[in-house]
Amino acid sequence: MPTNTALADPQNAEELAALRDQIDEIDAEMHRLLMRRGEVIDRLVAAKRTQASGVAFRPGREVDMLRRLASRHSGTLPLSTVEHVWREIIGTFTQAQASFKVHTPNATRPGTRDTLRFHFGFSAELVDHGSVGEAIAAAAASGTDLVVVPLDGDGAEPWWRPLAEPGAPIKVVTALPLLVPAGELGVAPALVLGSSGIEIDDAPFGVYAVAAPTDAAGIHPLCRAGDRSLVAYEDAGALRDSATGSALHDLLTNAAPVGRLYALPKL
């Protein structure tokens, strides 16, 4: 029978018990703080009148929060765990403010499911569709739901086409993950699409649908379908004012804007 030498030593047993007391204290404090966060969210709902508009998601605020977490992080706890825990917390509190579903193609595929759960936690209801187009149509009909498009390979169809239509109700609003590269997390990076009412006007990157090669400097390819691409470019509002004539300018002014990003996905 194996002997537990740590417990056999009474001094060591005492030390272990004291350390476990500290862990219990920390857990109780974290739990208290999470419940307090919930109370503040209740007040935020009243201040934002979120339920009236139905859309609580604030991508710019989320990027700020996660970057601040990363900047002060150190020690044994992996940053991927921090990102995962905060995605769960933020996802839950977004849901608590105004309920929404997450539409996606292939939600039942294990890899896609991991991606969705990592990005949106377990409080989101996932809705499976046969194509991104169907997912977009369902989110548009709801007015409040989100679409997650895993960036896990080139597709046959440029699914972003409906987003380029004038007055499109859905646009690209964020890309995930934000801190730890998707490959390290073992999930696919993803684009999140949401209602055109979601505040992203001050996001530095424009997302453009282009029908051209995408290797120009400063262009970040997001996904491809045949010779069509979806790219991000840090225009920060300057694109419209920049000098005409450059290949980049021509590429982007002939492109259709389909959303904005506060940060590129960590690939």
Q: What is the closest distance, in whole angstroms, from the C-beta atom of residue 8 to ligand PRE in the complex?
A: 47
Is residue 229 at the binding interface for ligand PRE, with CB under 6 A as the rule? no
Residue 58 binds ligand PRE, judged by CB under 6 A? yes
Of 20, 32, 36, 61, the residue at the interface with ligand PRE (CB under 6 A) is: 61
* Stretch in the footprint of ligand PRE (CB under 6 A) among 19-27, 55-63, 108-116, 209-217: 55-63
Q: Is 118 in the site for ligand PRE (CB under 6 A)?
A: no
What pairs with residue 174 in β-bridges?
192
Report yes or no: 193 and 171 within 8 Å, Cβ to Cβ. Answer: yes
Burial label for 91, CB within 10 Å (0-12, 13-18, 19+), is buried
The verdict on 145 binding ligand PRE (CB under 6 A) reads no
DSSP 146-212: EEEEE--S-BSS-TTGGGGSTT-SEEEEEEE-SSS-HHHHTS--EEEEEETTS--TT-SEEEEEESS
Q: Smallest gap, in angstroms, from Cβ of residue 195 to ligand PRE?
A: 13
Q: Does 57 bind ligand PRE (CB under 6 A)?
A: yes
Q: How far is the CB of 56 from ligand PRE (least distance, A)?
A: 5
User: C-alpha 95: how far from its chain's center?
Assistant: 14
Asked if 232 contacts 184 with a C-beta cutoff of 8 angstroms, the reply is no
Tell me: does residue 139 bind ligand PRE (CB under 6 A).
Answer: no
In the set 56, 209, 252, 255, which binds ligand PRE (CB under 6 A)?
A: 56
**What residues between 72 and 101 interact with ligand PRE by CB under 6 A?**
90, 93-94, 97
CA distance 188 to 149: 9
Residues near ligand PRE (CB under 6 A) = 44, 56-58, 61-62, 90, 93-94, 97
